[in-house]
């Protein structure tokens, strides 16, 4: 049983979700701290916070000026500052987001320690054959979504479309834990690579390989010049990414996908509603980077955003 639990944990499915869910919570908490302590003292002894877009000043107690509105009569400036922070948190729905993430984190922990029978290393007779065209891939699915949204190009500052690939729930990933056990037993052969189904959606990034038929379908939407493989000096290798339709500058995945509050993972629900997801009924195999993350309920992936094609 210990061996099964070890293989389950190292399969990468739930641990992958756990790490990135924890990272999201950490980044949100860091953002809150930055907002809380970004107060500056003006010459007239008022206190201004550019993140919270508010001023706290003394007039018959301590009052708040925010977005051309003046309100409150607080005993001290700390109480007024805390009130501003709470208003900002409510506007951004940060508390709700953190609550969902913490709930998801708890569910992941429960699965790790209770669902011992999932993703058990298969024996050699049950391995999924890895066809020649799939040898370059570490993730695969029977269909996928092509996300499309608008951003301002970092270079020319003009509006341009950017794209991302989202794999559906139960896509398959190479089971590294299974490979290690098979290698230890001398049973591993390259023509039979074990894959393990994943019980979540994933937005994939830093793609160094996309199966030809899937890439052809993607280019039907984007055009070859606006979604292309290009070298990145920041990470040291080439990968597929969007390009600006105005100036041609590559829009890196750190900027559009994997970064905090990025184009495809915004913390604002209204921004997320503007993303279109084209459902493409074509099998896909990709080799994705380690920054590929879970695309779950906290990103508000809803049916009305999906365009069936």
36-40, 100-104, 260-264, 272-276: least confident range: 100-104
DSSP 8-state code for residue 303: G
74-83, 104-113, 230-239, 251-260: least confident range: 104-113
**Structure tokens given for 300:** 């508000």
Measured at the CA of 154, the angle between CA 151 and CA 157, to 5 degrees, comes to: 70
Report, as an integer, the average pLDDT of 61-69.
Answer: 87
Residue 174 pairs in a beta bridge with: 195
| CA dist., res. 42 & res. 61, Å (int) | 18
Residue 139 pairs in a beta bridge with: 173, 286
| CA dist., res. 281 & res. 165, Å (int) | 13
Q: How many CA atoms lie within 13 A of 32 on its CB side?
A: 20
**Residue among 117, 118, 103, 104 nearest 17 (CA):** 104
- Listing DSSP states for 33-79 in one string gives HHHHT--EE-TTS-EEETTTTEEEEESSSEEEEETTEEEEEESSHHH
33-47, 81-95, 97-111, 220-234: least confident range: 97-111
Q: Quick one: pLDDT at residue 257? A: 87
Q: Quick one: pLDDT at residue 8? A: 45
Average model confidence (pLDDT) across the chain:
78
14-28, 42-56, 96-110, 259-273: least confident range: 96-110
Measured at the CA of 271, the angle between CA 167 and CA 83, to 5 degrees, comes to: 125
**pLDDT top residue among 161 and 114:** 161
Q: Quick one: pLDDT at residue 129? A: 37
Neighbours of 45 (CB within 10 A): 9
Report, as an integer, the average pLDDT of 82-102.
Answer: 77
pLDDT at residue 76 is higher than 80:
yes
pLDDT at residue 281 is higher than 90:
yes
The domain segmentation of the chain, as residue ranges, is: 1-120, 126-308
Q: Quick one: pLDDT at residue 298? A: 46
For the chain, how far is it from start to end, CA to CA, in angstroms?
45
DSSP 8-state code for residue 255: I
**pLDDT top residue among 182 and 65:** 65
Measured at the CA of 67, the angle between CA 259 and CA 58, to 5 degrees, comes to: 115
The two counts, helices (H) then strands (E), for the chain are: 8, 19
Strand, helix or coil for residue 125: helix
Q: Quick one: pLDDT at residue 243? A: 93
How far is C-alpha 59 from the chain's CA centre?
Answer: 45
Q: Quick one: pLDDT at residue 216? A: 95
Q: Quick one: pLDDT at residue 296? A: 56
Residues 6+ apart with CB under 8 A from 233: none
């Amino acid at each position: 049983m210990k061996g099964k639990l070890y293989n389950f944990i190292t399969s990468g499915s739930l641990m992958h979700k756990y790490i990135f869910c924890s990272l999201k919570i950490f980044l949100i908490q860091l953002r809150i701290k930055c907002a809380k302590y970004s107060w500056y003292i003006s010459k007239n002894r008022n206190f201004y916070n550019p993140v919270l877009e508010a001023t706290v000043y003394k007039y018959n107690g301590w009052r708040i000026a925010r977005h051309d509105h003046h309100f409150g009569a607080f005993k001290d400036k700390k109480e007024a500052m805390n009130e501003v922070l709470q208003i900002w948190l409510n506007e951004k729905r940060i508390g709700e987001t953190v609550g969902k993430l913490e709930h998801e984190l708890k569910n992941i922990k429960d699965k790790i320690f209770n669902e011992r029978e999932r993703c058990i290393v298969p024996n050699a007779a049950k391995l999924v054959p890895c066809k020649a065209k799939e040898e370059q891939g570490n993730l695969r699915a029977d269909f996928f979504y092509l996300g499309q949204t608008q951003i301002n190009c970092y270079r020319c500052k003009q509006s341009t479309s950017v794209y991302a690939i989202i794999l559906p729930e139960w896509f398959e990933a190479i089971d590294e834990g299974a490979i290690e056990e098979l290698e230890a037993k001398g049973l591993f052969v390259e023509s039979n690579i074990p894959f393990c189904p994943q019980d979540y959606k994933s937005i994939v990034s830093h793609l160094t390989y996309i199966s030809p038929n899937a890439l052809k379908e993607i280019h039907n939407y984007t055009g070859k010049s606006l979604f292309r493989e290009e070298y990145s000096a920041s990470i040291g290798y080439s990968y597929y990414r969007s390009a600006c339709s105005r100036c041609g500058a590559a829009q890196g995945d750190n900027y559009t996908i994997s970064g905090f509050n990025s184009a495809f993972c915004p913390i604002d629900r209204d921004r997320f509603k503007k993303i279109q997801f084209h459902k493409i009924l074509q099998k896909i195999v990709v080799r994705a980077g380690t920054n590929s993350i879970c695309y779950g309920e906290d990103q508000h992936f809803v049916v009305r955003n999906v365009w069936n094609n």
